[in-house]
Chain A
Amino acid sequence: MRRDRVNGYGFWAIGLHWLIAVLILGLVGLGFVMRRTAVDPALQFSLYQWHKSVGFVVLGLAVLRGLIWLVGRHPEAVASLGPVERRAALSTHLTLALLCLVVPLAGWAVASTTPLNIPTFFFDLVVIPPLPLGRSEAGEGFWSLVHAGAAYLLLALAALHAAAALYHHFVRRDEVLSRMLGRPGPHGPHAAPASPAPNPLQREGSKQ
């Protein structure tokens, strides 16, 4: 475990960010295919089960990211960002992080309310019990809508967010994307100087 660079993302933040991002994009694609295209019914059944298991992995990782955010130091915005950009970035990041919790929770609610009553057998290892919501077509319909709506909103926001990252990298040529890749900026090391790794547990001002 490496300590965060003074004004950068730590090993865990970076790892979680990209792992969650990849899984989310995969799950949106999978969700769309299994739900909206004519796939073989046996394959469709398996896709649903994979979707639920991987979705729970994302829920776990997103909770972990939330905890790290709460206890750790969240890096300040890159210095070249204006106040509006900072606010936009922060609210986008918060919304994205929140949706990474809401989407799988709503998916869990779908699985918990559908009268199909298909158990969630996490990677065929353990049964994840349903949320105590009661089963009905109406409940399933509602949570299905919330789950799909939140998932596609997450996708749209992530696209915007990724576009902003690319804009910063290739047009503004700042270190926004580089620091999320764990590298110093590609256009000169105006990344924070390496500091003599202090004990992460003794960081002062854990966040501001």
Chain B
Amino acid sequence: MKPVALTLLVLPALLCVSSVQAAAPELAQAAGTYVISGSSQIRFTVDQVGGGGINGKFTKFAGRMRIDGNSIGASTVSFTLYPQSVATPEQRISDFLRSSAVFDAETYPTVTFRSTAVRQTGENTAIVDGMLTARGITHREQFAVRLQGLKGGTIAFNVTGDVYRSRYKMDVGTPIYLNVVKFDMDIRGDKR
């Protein structure tokens, strides 16, 4: 849901490349609007007491990011994921996550993220703040973005962030399962 933040990273990377190789056009190429592609990976982990935990992913999502060529801080990301598509190695756990106990996917078919601020933190890293809405509850969340590649109109980021599920009334199973959901996402964007 926070892959958008990744876009920010692109700019510094481009700058870096351009300064070494004097390829000014690349920056211009990175700037633009990207649609998050279905080949992206949205993974999450919830640890449990005594070791181990739940590893899952979302297979259905959509989003776009706009990289501002003049100011990275003006870049934006919006992302929607469909909790109905949650998948874990155990069908019963996936069903439980979809149920009213957790995502209540029937009543709340989407989880959304809209960036509110993007801050570059390094050559190819940035922090993206935004509003995450799940189960009808909205909270500010933060994700760390690292640019991983930019090639022929396709951009790749790794995005990580911790979300406290209790904020969204999804704290069923605590303290057996920790409150923290750790997201680890590989986001690919195709330039429009």
Q: Which residues of A contact B (CB under 8 A)?
A: 40-42, 45, 49, 115-119, 121, 124, 127, 129
Q: Is the Cβ of A41 less than 8 Å from the Cβ of B96?
A: yes
Q: Is the Cβ of B175 less than 8 Å from the Cβ of A124?
A: yes
**B interface SS class:** loop
Q: Is the Cβ of A129 less than 8 Å from the Cβ of B50?
A: yes
Q: Is the Cβ of A42 less than 8 Å from the Cβ of B172?
A: yes
The distance from the CB of A137 to the nearest CB of chain B, in whole angstroms, is 10
Q: Which residues of B contact A (CB under 8 A)?
A: 48-50, 52, 89-90, 92-93, 96, 99-101, 172-173, 175-176
Question: Residue of B at shortest CB range from A44?
Answer: B101
Instruction: Report Cα–Cα, A208/B173, bound state, in Å.
Output: 50
The distance from the CB of B3 to the nearest CB of chain A, in whole angstroms, is 29
Tell me the number of A-to-B contacts counted with CB atoms below 8 Å. Answer: 36
| Partner of A117 from B52, B100, B172, B173 at Cβ < 8 Å | B52
A49 contact set on B, CB distance < 8 A? 176
Q: Is the Cβ of B175 less than 8 Å from the Cβ of A121?
A: yes
A42 contact set on B, CB distance < 8 A? 100-101, 172
Given contacts A41-B100, A42-B100, A129-B50, contact A116 B175 (CB under 8 A): no
B173 contact set on A, CB distance < 8 A? 45
Instruction: Report Cα–Cα, A41/B173, bound state, in Å.
Output: 11
Q: Is the Cβ of A121 less than 8 Å from the Cβ of B176?
A: yes
B101 contact set on A, CB distance < 8 A? 40-42, 45
Q: Is the Cβ of B50 less than 8 Å from the Cβ of A45?
A: no
